[in-house]
Amino acid sequence: MRIRDMRNIVGMLCILGIAFTALGACSNPFGSSGGSGSSSDNSGGEGAAAVTYTVTYDANGETTIGTPPFDESLYEDSAEVTVLGNTGNLEKDGHTFLRWNDAADGSGADYVPGATFPIESDMTLYARWVEDTTETYTVSYDGNEADEGEAPEGANYLDGETVTVLGNTGGLEKGGHTFLRWNSQDDGEGTGYAPGDSFTITGHLTLFAQWTEEPTYTVNYDGNGADGGSVPAGAQSYLEGEPVTVLGNIGGLVKSDHTFAGWNTAADGQSEQYRRDDEFEMPDSDVTLYAQWSPPLTEEDDIEEAFNTMVHETIAGDPDNGFEPVEGEEGVYVYEKTGGGSLRFWQVNASGTISFDVTLEEGPGNDPTGDVEVYRVDSDGAKGELIVETTVELNEETTVVFDIPDCDFQIDFQGGQRVWEVRNFSLALDE
């Protein structure tokens, strides 16, 4: 994807916290406090004892044999916890150990051995069992001639589940080499997987540590004032010139009264802006990506002007999205490429509605109708639930209206080889 630097967008625009896929950098007029959001001082005052939490593992079944892991650590608030594996060889007749869950019935959040999370209260993690007849696949990690440390423990997954690749959590080391990432082949000629990458599992897989003697540089993620959740997997190493694919907010970072608005190479948002799956070429220096946070909109903000300017700057600034501004007609854009177009917005931190007008015009295709679909975008960047679908008749202007969602959202234009015209993007706040 082409990344553009949009530094020329005035600071007022960033009040919205909204952008299309190719939106470049914009400044945050409210400033941005530092810190990764992964720790906090909960000591209650100078000299007071710090609050600590425990993690307890439960076999979750009367017919099990073996011993659940025992974590003797006392964790301070927001400290990183590494999930233990089935180290006590728990077994349950007719069942396979899958992973841990924070609800005994498996309806809560899953915790895969080797993954990390910030602790905010005492936790009990229950073994999650599936019947032996259920097809499962294993992801295993191999140190691949490492001299020290341990490879992360493997984990079982159901067919079709999403796997998030672990980091070098066991501190693998190899003399004269640097850990780079994992690969599906021990010689590095297979598929590479960086910590935090995700994929859909369809069979057993072993991931081998990849080592390099060349200089490497790291990409780090910083919560930048977050007060909950965790940053994506720790520092990731790259060779100079390698492509870096930006991770989404996979750790569920949150900040009170703010919404997540992507990553930026500057904490104050005045440099390169990225969102999930954007790519950049690794420079010959380390890179830190800081979470960006949008404060709530208020009725005093000049939101209409800011919104319209943002729409124009992002569409006109990225011809790859297929939309082009119409010369002499402010706020009007056309799409003439084959296939459907797609535009993605950041979350708008406000309550109200968004609307725009759309017309399906004559083109190479012969279908007399097309569809405009608005989808939620999940916190990890994947397209989620359909918000609204509107059918557009040929040569008839139609208004699409939907409530501002509490997440990023994506607008898809489905109609084959047609000419789409959109205009009059507007945002109205609830009174």
| 61-120 confidence digits (pLDDT tens) | 888 899 999 999 999 988 889 999 998 899 999 999 999 999 999 999 999 998 888 898
Mean pLDDT of the region 186-196: 92
pLDDT attached to residue 367: 72
What sign has the CA pseudo-torsion 76, 117, 221, 150? positive
Closest to 391 in 3D by CA, of 427, 343, 358: 358
| Neighbouring residues of 197: CB distance < 8 A, sequence distance ≥ 6 | 164, 165, 245, 247
pLDDT digits (tens, 9 = 90+) for 207-226: 999 999 999 999 999 999 99
Question: How far apart, in Å, are the Cα atoms of 310 and each of 205, 307, 316, 317?
Answer: 44, 5, 10, 10
| Neighbouring residues of 278: CB distance < 8 A, sequence distance ≥ 6 | 1, 3, 21, 245, 246
Provide the pLDDT confidence category of residue 239 given band limits of 50, 70 and 90: very high
Is domain 303-429 in CATH 2.60.120.260, yes or no? Answer: yes
Contacts from 313-319 at CB under 8 Å and sequence distance 24+?
Answer: 313/6, 313/8, 313/9, 313/13, 314/6, 314/19, 314/20, 314/22, 314/23, 315/20, 315/343, 317/4, 317/6, 317/22, 317/24, 318/2, 318/4, 318/20, 318/21, 318/22
> What residues are paired with 389 via a beta bridge?
373
Q: Residue 364 pLDDT > 90, yes or no?
A: no
> Considering the entire predicted model, what is its pTM?
0.62
What sign has the CA pseudo-torsion 102, 107, 108, 114? positive
Longest alpha-carbon distance in the chain: 76
pLDDT attached to residue 310: 67
The angle formed by the CA atoms of residues 351, 355 and 361, to the nearest 5 degrees, is 160
Question: How far apart, in Å, are the Cα atoms of 400 and each of 99, 297, 396, 412?
Answer: 44, 22, 13, 12
pLDDT digits (tens, 9 = 90+) for 265-281: 999 888 888 878 888 99
pLDDT attached to residue 7: 30
